[in-house]
Amino acid sequence: MKSGFVVIIGRSNVGKSTLMNTLVGTKIAATSFRAQMTRHLIHGVMNTPTGQAVFIDTPGVFKDRKNPLTAKLTNKVKESLEGVNLIIYVVDPTREIGDEEKASYGMIRHLDIPKLLVINKSDLPPEKRKHQDEYESWEENFDQMFQLSALRASHIQPLRNKVMEYMPEGEEMYPNEQLTNLDHHFWIAEIIREKVFSIFDKEVPYSINVEVDNVEEKKDITVITARILTNEERYKKIIIGQKGHKIKEIGQMARKELEQATNRKIFLELEVFVDKHWIERI
Ligand SMILES: Nc1nc2c(ncn2[C@@H]2O[C@H](COP(=O)(O)OP(=O)(O)OP(=O)(O)O)[C@@H](O)[C@H]2O)c(=O)[nH]1
Ligand SMILES: [Mg+2]
Mean per-residue pLDDT, 254-266: 97
Kindly state whether residue 155 falls inside one of the protein's structural domains: yes
Residues 192 and 109 in one domain: no
Residues 141 and 49 in one domain: yes
Give the end of a domain, one of 106, 131, 166. 166
**Residue burial 187-200, b: 16+ Cβ < 10 Å; e: rest:** bbbbbbbbbbbbbb
Using the predicted structure, report yes or no on whether residue 262 has a pLDDT greater than 90: yes
Mean per-residue pLDDT, 52-61: 97
Using the predicted structure, report yes or no on whether residue 245 has a pLDDT greater than 70: yes
pLDDT tier, 227 (very low <50, low <70, confident <90, very high otherwise): very high
pLDDT tier, 67 (very low <50, low <70, confident <90, very high otherwise): confident
Kindly state whether residue 88 falls inside one of the protein's structural domains: yes
Tell me phi and psi for residue 55, to 5 degrees.
-80, 140
Residues 19 and 145 in one domain: yes
Helices (H), the chain: 16-24, 68-80, 99-106, 132-136, 157-166, 184-199, 233-240, 245-262
- Whether 51 is in the pocket of ligand 1, judged by its Cβ within 6 Å, is no
**pLDDT digits 0-9 by tens, 2-36:** 999 999 999 999 999 999 999 999 999 999 999 99
Ligand nearest to the CA of 149: 1
Task: Please check if 120 is assigned to a binding site.
Answer: yes
40 Cα–ligand 1 center, Å = 16
Cα–Cα distance, 179 to 273 (Å, whole number):
32
Residues 150 and 204 in one domain: no
Residues 240 and 272 in one domain: yes
The CATH number covering residue 91 comes to 3.40.50.300
pLDDT tier, 66 (very low <50, low <70, confident <90, very high otherwise): confident
Nearest residue to 87 via CA among 11, 150, 22, 9: 9
**pLDDT digits 0-9 by tens, 160-209:** 999 999 999 999 999 989 999 999 999 999 999 999 999 998 789 999 99
Neighbours of 235 (CB within 10 A): 20
Q: Out of 19-23, 68-72, 262-266, 269-273, which region has the weakest mean confidence (pLDDT)?
A: 68-72
Let me know: does 70 contact 11? Beta carbons within 8 Å: no
- Whether 33 is in the pocket of ligand 1, judged by its Cβ within 6 Å, is yes
Kindly state whether residue 172 falls inside one of the protein's structural domains: no
21 Cα–ligand 2 center, Å = 10
Mean per-residue pLDDT, 137-164: 98
- Any residues with CB less than 8 A from the CB of 256 and at least 6 apart, and which? none
Give the end of a domain, one of 166, 196, 217. 166
Task: Please check if 122 is assigned to a binding site.
Answer: yes
- Whether 120 is in the pocket of ligand 1, judged by its Cβ within 6 Å, is yes
Neighbours of ion ligand 2 (CB under 5 A): 16-17, 37-38
Residue whose CA lies nearest to ligand 1 atom number 16: 31
Ligand 1 nearest-atom number relative to CA 57: 20
**Residue burial 107-129, b: 16+ Cβ < 10 Å; e: rest:** bbeeeeebbbbbbbbbeeeeeeb
- Whether 230 is in the pocket of ligand 1, judged by its Cβ within 6 Å, is no
Q: Please report the pLDDT score of residue 65 as a whole number.
A: 67
Give the end of a domain, one of 132, 166, 200. 166
Q: What is the pTM of this model?
A: 0.97
Cα–Cα distance, 186 to 208 (Å, whole number):
15
Kindly state whether residue 129 falls inside one of the protein's structural domains: yes
Ligand 1 nearest-atom number relative to CA 61: 25
Mean per-residue pLDDT, 110-118: 98
- Whether 124 is in the pocket of ligand 1, judged by its Cβ within 6 Å, is yes
Residues 191 and 153 in one domain: no
From 8, 151, 197, 201, mutation site for ligand 1 pocket: most ligand atoms within 8 A of C-beta: 151
Ligand nearest to the CA of 61: 1
7 Cα–ligand 2 center, Å = 12
Give me the number of domains the chain comprises.
2
From 9, 21, 27, 32, mutation site for ligand 1 pocket: most ligand atoms within 8 A of C-beta: 32
pLDDT tier, 249 (very low <50, low <70, confident <90, very high otherwise): very high
Mean per-residue pLDDT, 69-88: 95
Boundaries of domain holding 238: 184-281
Let me know: does 31 contact 81? Beta carbons within 8 Å: no
Helices (H), 28-183: 68-80, 99-106, 132-136, 157-166
